[in-house]
Amino acid sequence: MIVWTGRHRRGTMGLSGNLQSFGVPEILQLLALQRKSGILRLDFQNGERQVLFIERGAIVGTRDRRTLGDDPFLNFLRGAGFLSDDQIAAVLRVQSETSRDPLYILLSAGMIGRDRLIEALTQHTQQIIDRLLTWTEGTYEFSGDERSIPKMGLKLPLSIEEMLMEGMRRMDELATIKQAVLAPDLYLLQSPETIDRGSLSRELLVVCDMVQRSITVEGVVATSPLGEYSTYEAISALLEAGVLIVDPCPPLAPIDLGPAPLELVVPVLRKPVMSTWAGVLVLSAASICLGLALGPTLRGQARGLVPPEVAQARHRMDRALAFEVYQSMRGESATPGRLVDERFLNPPPRSRR
pLDDT value of position 310: 56
Q: What is the average pLDDT across 248-259?
A: 70
pLDDT value of position 45: 82
Beta 158-159 vs 215-216: how paired, if at all?
unpaired
Q: 40 and 54 in contact (C-beta within 8 Å)? A: yes
pLDDT value of position 115: 94
The pLDDT confidence band at residue 15, using thresholds 50, 70 and 90, is: confident
How far apart are alpha carbons 312 and 306 in whole angstroms? 10
How far apart are alpha carbons 81 and 205 in whole angstroms? 9
How confident is the model over 291-303, as pLDDT tens digits? 555 555 545 454 4
Amino acid type, 260:
A
How far apart are alpha carbons 182 and 236 in whole angstroms? 8
pLDDT value at 138 more than 90:
yes
How far apart are alpha carbons 171 and 300 in whole angstroms? 55
pLDDT value of position 336: 80
Which of 50-64, 135-149, 176-190, 316-330 shows the lowest mean pLDDT across its residues? 316-330
Q: 174 and 221 in contact (C-beta within 8 Å)? A: no
Q: How far is CA 245 from CA 125, 128, 177, 191, 222, in A?
A: 31, 30, 17, 6, 19
How far apart are alpha carbons 146 and 39 in whole angstroms? 9
* Closest-CA residue to 152 (of 87, 55, 79): 55
- Which long-range contacts (C-beta less than 8 Å, at least 24 apart) are formed by 115-122? 116/82, 117/154, 118/154, 118/156, 120/73, 120/76, 120/77, 120/80, 120/82, 121/73, 121/154, 121/156, 121/158, 122/156, 122/158
Domain ranges of the chain: 2-72+111-169, 181-246, 265-341
pLDDT value at 272 more than 60:
no
How far apart are alpha carbons 31 and 141 in whole angstroms? 12
